[in-house]
Structure 1
Amino acid sequence: MGAESGRSYGVARDVTAHDLRKTFATHQFYHCDTDLLRLQRWLGHADINTTRSYVDDLAGWQRRQTVRDMVA
């Protein structure tokens, strides 16, 4: 996994295992209605706040993107 595999799919930067974990968790939460406790178990997080940070990171990105779209 790395830059070459990411670029073959149109991604301009390295793709890490962490990127894939966050993508999986975010997709499961937002599109499959998977609850945080289940995601916590699947990801092996000891603290639910670690799992919650995955979802909060995306929510923050979406807010920033919305503001950029409104200003542009």
Structure 2
Amino acid sequence: MSTITFRVSEAEKEFIQKMAEFNGVSVSELSRNNLLESLEDQIDLDLYEKARQAHRAKDESISLQEMKKVLDE
């Protein structure tokens, strides 16, 4: 397993340690999980924005009434 180091202030260090303790995990686990979750959220947001732009470019939405007609046929 690799190691990544980053610098924080004393106050940030204390806060991170308290949050790790509060969550019942190590500082390493807390940092790793939150960092990876944040990066995954960025990817999800980017994919959402691209899908939204594609939808705007070619909107194929139909109304509820139109959908009912399609499903009844």
TM range (shorter): 0.3 to 0.5
If asked which structure has higher relative contact order (CA below 8 Å, sep 6+), I would say 1
TM-score (norm: length of structure 1)? 0.40
Structure whose CA Rg is larger: 2
TM-score (norm: length of structure 2)? 0.40
